[in-house]
Chains A and B, each alone.
Chain A
Amino acid sequence: MKHLLRTLLAGTVAVSASLAASAAHADNYVSITGAGSTWSQVAIDAWRADIRANGVVVNYSGTGSTDGRTQYIQHTVDFAVTEIPFENPPEPGQPAEVPDRPYAYLPIVAGGTSFMYHLTVAGKQVRDLRLSGKTLALVYTGAVTRWNDPRITAENQGRVLPDEAIIPVVRSDGAGASAQFSRYLWRVYPTIWCPFAQSHLGACGLTSFFPTFGNAKSQVGSNGVADYVSASYGEGAIGYVEFAYAKRINYPVVSLLNQAGYYTQPSASDVAVALTRAQINADLTQNLDSVYVNPDPRTYPMSSYSYMVVPTTAASPFNVDKGKSLATFINYFLCAGQQKAQILGYSPLPKNLVQAGFAQVAKIPGTVPSPALSSCNNPALSVLTSAAQPLPCQAATSRVSCDGRTPATTPPAPTTTTSAPTSTTTSAAPTTATPRTTTPGSGSPVPVTSAPVGKTAGATPPAESSSRAAPAAAAAPTPTAPSGGAPAATQLVDPAGAPYVTSVSLAARSESSQNRLLYWLSALVLLAVVVAPPVISWVLLRRRNRSATG
């Protein structure tokens, strides 16, 4: 019956098929189809375009990791790309994912889940926001809702951000990025995450379907998130995407606080450093628990690998011919393709994972031999060794921002917000006056394990080389202030500000009330001019009529 119907369907279009068959497969590679992660889609799209030149056609649709895995289970794709392995046992509210065709995991690229934001102060975009995982957890569970929240202020050297609502943007589709982020929250901040997850999902754990809450907006795909944040009305929005998405449209991402007390960007090197602590299981899947708390000061804590799920048998829809295409594609991106990772906003795979990946390629039916690792020119090691130590200004304890902007306040004095203590102004002066020295890294509290910093500054991506190369206020003393933990709600208030502002508003008010009176008057006059004649004529007419009849 099934076959009959299928032949029937096929028969209907036999004509066009025979017409087209000749054109479709001119080369000797069969095209392959995959779906899944949008987190790594930027890299895959780039590799896809590269390998196309060799005649290998790869169709990839970024539909979310969950969709990729489901489609793999449903036999509708040849391969899937996902951040997390098949979920068995499942996450709350989702089915157990048990594919009935054999598969292997294969790491494809590393990257940092980063937080892109859209924040404007006085017409200028804020580009140096710093947040800790804890604050992000509070933001993404609806506990911190305004940008001028004291906890955010405290992390940004006392700089008060505008009094605007925070719009957390989450993924509406099943997303590996959601899973990675929620796993981080779950493992590192269970006390914040679990009550939230319990109430929205019914269980505590990671989730690919981030629940919407409060002000949160859900968008489809990483593109959707990036699109929303960068839209004209996206002011106040923050969303999680792979760094590549922010980099592509030159949008800032949050510097995230790591275990060593430094705020770092998801650069290739900091992701690579972070992942040196990743535990790789026998099936190549990752356990990131130690990455989150990697003590290296160059760690970007929310780093992870992305994976491809490849079939290891020729079960439908896969076959040996497709295996050849897929193996060729994988050999390309594991080897030469990794050189592109950093440019795109990812981080290359380390050699051992590339080697392990080649071992997985060998399991694909119809595979082709992998190239020698030495021929790949894998940039991972140089990225790792060139990882620069964070600047002192990136430290949580630093009171000077990295662009040398005026620091905020006195050491975390309990006196806060409203009143304007005179001490505030005086403390500001010396810091700006601090002579800038050219000794980056001197403030680093952690021993440097790899190559010295200075000589490799050029290797860092442009986005941050500007901030890092700037030898800004390196000598900032790190006095008694404890690291960002204490909610020191300090706020920058110009001491002269308050009275000045009130006087202006007073003047403005008196003037506006005068104006308003004038406006009202002229409106009345205008109305009278338009309405009076008909009314008068109507009255006159009626009177005349009445007198005529009477």
Chain B
Amino acid sequence: MTAVVDRPLERTSTESVPLADERAFRAVVRGCAIVTLLLMGLIALFLLLRSWPALHRAGFSFLTEKRWLPDVNHFGVAALLSGTVVIGCIALLVAVPLALGASLFINEYAPRRLRRLLVSMIDLMAAVPSIVYGLWGFFFLQPRMIGLSRWLSAHLGGVLPFLHVHDADTPSSFTSSAFIAGTVVGIVVVPTVTSVMREVFSQAPVAEREAALALGSTKWGMIRTVVIPFGRGGIIGGSMLGLGRALGETIAVYLIISPILDYTTHPLQSGSNTIAAFIASRSTESSSIGLAGLLGAGLVLFLLTLLVNSIAAVIVARSRSGAVTE
């Protein structure tokens, strides 16, 4: 692609051709890419460097210690990690069935005229700020979920010991729990998961669908034999993507939970904590070693999210549907 004498037809006379333009363009674009690369690398490096004193001092116990007393070297993310994972899992339990059903509904069952509107609504839902969901969860959902928590605890607590709640006679025992926070986070991530799944399902090959229907399959039969197997990668990948977002969700959790520094073993019982919410609450009042510890906790969260997202990416890419989705 050298400079050619022959100009494109619509070209007006103002521009000059020279290679300088081209070189400048490449330089600028490359420069920007490098800045982006540096910036992003800087974050990772910075997290690592600044948290190093804490990680070094705490050693491996950083992952197993549940207390947070950085200045006497008793600090770790064990309690936070357990809360983060529990809340993430509850969020998935809420989000995945709902997203699966809703995406199939939009693609297969909804009236055709409505479909575009519904897709827009899902995307809009994904753009609703999480503080709005947090406020809604705190003021609307929480009072209404106490009854459900109590019901679950009373009727299933005997069979599944982790659903047991002590002091079940007071509603306070059921508020600010990992269960409620997880449900709200689930609602925060459900649009993301839905749109990934819907996207994948809509790519299912038409020929196979038609073949299934032509062979006399019912619509459900067609979905079961064509759409879902085709979109399996999308289902898992979308769920993992949702999990990644759920793990990093801060403000909705921060508004709802009552922070404790202990393992979250009974999700219905009030009190939990996540890494993100803990960082939000402690970031400013920490000493240098405390801040290093927080950055270390952030690093753990980042690695966890990265792991989950990478798995999601690999699954989506490996699946049959992967080639056609983003």
**Does a CB–CB distance below 8 Å link A and B in the complex?**
yes
Q: Which residues of A line the B interface, CB within 8 A? A: 35, 63-64, 66-67, 70-71, 90, 92-95, 97, 163-165, 167, 172-174, 201-202, 212, 215, 217-220, 228, 231-237
Shortest distance between the CB of A38 and any CB in chain B (Å): 12
Is A233's CB under 8 angstroms from B281's CB? no
Q: Restricting to B132-177, which residues have a CB under 8 Å from any CB of A?
A: 142-143, 146, 167, 169-176
Is A236's CB under 8 angstroms from B170's CB? yes
- Bound complex: CA of A219 vs CA of B142, how far in Å? 16
Shortest distance between the CB of B53 and any CB in chain A (Å): 13
Is B146's CB under 8 angstroms from A233's CB? yes
Bitwise, B281-295 to A at CB < 8 A (1) or not (0) is 110111111100000
Query: Beyond A70-B286, A71-B284, is A202–B69 a contact (Cβ under 8 Å)?
Result: yes
Query: Beyond A165-B167, A165-B172, A212-B262, is A67–B72 a contact (Cβ under 8 Å)?
Result: no
Is A233's CB under 8 angstroms from B172's CB? yes
Query: Beyond A212-B262, A215-B167, A236-B172, is A174–B285 a contact (Cβ under 8 Å)?
Result: yes
Task: Return 12 A-B CB contacts under 8 Å, by A number.
Answer: A66-B285, A70-B286, A94-B71, A95-B70, A95-B288, A165-B170, A173-B282, A215-B173, A218-B260, A220-B281, A235-B170, A236-B170
- Bound complex: CA of A4 vs CA of B310, how far in Å? 36
Is B258's CB under 8 angstroms from A63's CB? no
Is B259's CB under 8 angstroms from A172's CB? yes
Q: Provide the residues of chain B in CB contact with A174, threshold 8 Å.
A: 285
Shortest distance between the CB of A34 and any CB in chain B (Å): 13
8 extra A-B contacts, CB within 8 A, seeds A71-B285, A233-B143: A70-B284, A93-B72, A94-B69, A217-B270, A218-B258, A231-B175, A233-B142, A237-B172
Is A232's CB under 8 angstroms from B143's CB? yes
Query: Beyond A90-B71, A219-B258, is A234–B285 a contact (Cβ under 8 Å)?
Result: no
Nearest chain-B residue to A94 (Cβ)? B71
Nearest chain-B residue to A147 (Cβ)? B170
- Bound complex: CA of A49 vs CA of B290, how far in Å? 35
Q: Assess whether B88 is interfacial by the CB under 8 Å rule.
A: no
Query: Beyond A164-B169, A165-B172, is A173–B285 a contact (Cβ under 8 Å)?
Result: yes
Is A94's CB under 8 angstroms from B287's CB? yes
Is A235's CB under 8 angstroms from B172's CB? yes
Question: B176 contacts which of A92, A164, A217 (Cβ < 8 Å)?
Answer: A217
Shortest distance between the CB of A89 and any CB in chain B (Å): 11
The tally of CB-CB contacts under 8 A between chains A and B is 89
- Bound complex: CA of A220 vs CA of B270, how far in Å? 15
Bitwise, B254-286 to A at CB < 8 A (1) or not (0) is 000011111000000011000000000110111
Q: Provide the residues of chain B in CB contact with A233, threshold 8 Å.
A: 142-143, 146, 171-172, 174-175
Is A64's CB under 8 angstroms from B285's CB? yes
Shortest distance between the CB of B31 and any CB in chain A (Å): 14
Q: Provide the residues of chain B in CB contact with A71, threshold 8 Å.
A: 284-285
Q: Provide the residues of chain B in CB contact with A202, threshold 8 Å.
A: 69, 72, 74
Nearest chain-B residue to A36 (Cβ)? B285
Nearest chain-A residue to B260 (Cβ)? A212
Query: Beyond A201-B69, A212-B261, is A164–B284 a contact (Cβ under 8 Å)?
Result: no
Nearest chain-B residue to A61 (Cβ)? B284
Is B287's CB under 8 angstroms from A95's CB? yes
Nearest chain-B residue to A236 (Cβ)? B170
Q: Which residues of B line the A interface, CB within 8 A? A: 67, 69-72, 74, 142-143, 146, 167, 169-176, 258-262, 270-271, 281-282, 284-290
Nearest chain-B residue to A70 (Cβ)? B285
Q: Provide the residues of chain A in CB contact with B175, threshold 8 Å.
A: 231, 233
Shortest distance between the CB of A249 and any CB in chain B (Å): 16
Nearest chain-A residue to B278 (Cβ)? A172
Nearest chain-B residue to A167 (Cβ)? B172
Task: Return the 4 tightest CB-CB contacts between A and B, nearest first.
Answer: A93-B69, A95-B287, A67-B285, A233-B171
Q: Provide the residues of chain A in CB contact with B170, threshold 8 Å.
A: 164-165, 167, 235-236
Shortest distance between the CB of B289 and any CB in chain A (Å): 7
Q: Provide the residues of chain A in CB contact with B289, threshold 8 Å.
A: 95
Query: Beyond A219-B258, A236-B170, is A172–B281 a contact (Cβ under 8 Å)?
Result: yes
Shortest distance between the CB of A523 and any CB in chain B (Å): 18
Nearest chain-A residue to B288 (Cβ)? A95
- Bound complex: CA of A165 vs CA of B174, how far in Å? 13
Nearest chain-A residue to B176 (Cβ)? A217
Is B290's CB under 8 angstroms from A165's CB? no
Is B169's CB under 8 angstroms from A165's CB? yes
Shortest distance between the CB of B90 and any CB in chain A (Å): 20
Shortest distance between the CB of B68 and any CB in chain A (Å): 8
Q: Provide the residues of chain B in CB contact with A173, threshold 8 Å.
A: 281-282, 285
Q: Provide the residues of chain A in CB contact with B72, threshold 8 Å.
A: 92-93, 202
Q: Provide the residues of chain B in CB contact with A235, threshold 8 Å.
A: 170-172
Shortest distance between the CB of B274 and any CB in chain A (Å): 13
Is A67's CB under 8 angstroms from B74's CB? no
Is B69's CB under 8 angstroms from A67's CB? no
Q: Provide the residues of chain B in CB contact with A236, threshold 8 Å.
A: 170, 172
Question: B271 contacts which of A93, A165, A217, A228 (Cβ < 8 Å)?
Answer: A217
Query: Beyond A66-B285, A174-B285, A218-B259, is A95–B290 a contact (Cβ under 8 Å)?
Result: yes
Q: Provide the residues of chain A in CB contact with B261, threshold 8 Å.
A: 212
- Bound complex: CA of A233 vs CA of B167, how far in Å? 14
Is A234's CB under 8 angstroms from B260's CB? no
Shortest distance between the CB of B46 and any CB in chain A (Å): 13
- Bound complex: CA of A156 vs CA of B146, how far in Å? 31
Question: B285 contacts which of A63, A93, A212 (Cβ < 8 Å)?
Answer: A63
- Bound complex: CA of A90 vs CA of B172, how far in Å? 34
Q: Provide the residues of chain A in CB contact with B260, threshold 8 Å.
A: 212, 218
Is A217's CB under 8 angstroms from B258's CB? yes
Q: Provide the residues of chain B in CB contact with A228, threshold 8 Å.
A: 258
Nearest chain-B residue to A66 (Cβ)? B285
Shortest distance between the CB of A240 and any CB in chain B (Å): 15
Q: Provide the residues of chain B in CB contact with A64, threshold 8 Å.
A: 285
Q: Provide the residues of chain B in CB contact with A67, threshold 8 Å.
A: 284-285
Q: Provide the residues of chain A in CB contact with B270, threshold 8 Å.
A: 217
Q: Provide the residues of chain B in CB contact with A232, threshold 8 Å.
A: 143
Is A63's CB under 8 angstroms from B284's CB? yes
- Bound complex: CA of A90 vs CA of B71, how far in Å? 10
- Bound complex: CA of A167 vs CA of B258, how far in Å? 12
Q: Provide the residues of chain A in CB contact with B69, threshold 8 Å.
A: 92-94, 201-202
Shortest distance between the CB of A225 and any CB in chain B (Å): 11
Central interface residue in B146, B262, B287, B289, by most chain A CB within 10 Å: B287
Is B258's CB under 8 angstroms from A93's CB? no
- Bound complex: CA of A164 vs CA of B176, how far in Å? 19
Q: Provide the residues of chain B in CB contact with A70, threshold 8 Å.
A: 284-287
Question: A234 contacts which of B74, B172, B259, B290 (Cβ < 8 Å)?
Answer: B172
Shortest distance between the CB of A81 and any CB in chain B (Å): 14
Nearest chain-B residue to A200 (Cβ)? B67
- Bound complex: CA of A92 vs CA of B73, how far in Å? 11
Nearest chain-B residue to A35 (Cβ)? B284
- Bound complex: CA of A67 vs CA of B286, how far in Å? 8
Shortest distance between the CB of A504 and any CB in chain B (Å): 21
Shortest distance between the CB of B107 and any CB in chain A (Å): 32
- Bound complex: CA of A516 vs CA of B284, how far in Å? 59
Q: Provide the residues of chain A in CB contact with B167, threshold 8 Å.
A: 165, 215
Question: B173 contacts which of A163, A165, A231 (Cβ < 8 Å)?
Answer: A165
Q: Provide the residues of chain B in CB contact with A35, threshold 8 Å.
A: 284
Q: Provide the residues of chain A in CB contact with B284, threshold 8 Å.
A: 35, 63, 67, 70-71
Shortest distance between the CB of A190 and any CB in chain B (Å): 21
Nearest chain-A residue to B69 (Cβ)? A93
Q: Provide the residues of chain B in CB contact with A231, threshold 8 Å.
A: 175
Q: Provide the residues of chain B in CB contact with A217, threshold 8 Å.
A: 172, 176, 258, 270-271
- Bound complex: CA of A218 vs CA of B174, how far in Å? 14
Shortest distance between the CB of B278 and any CB in chain A (Å): 10
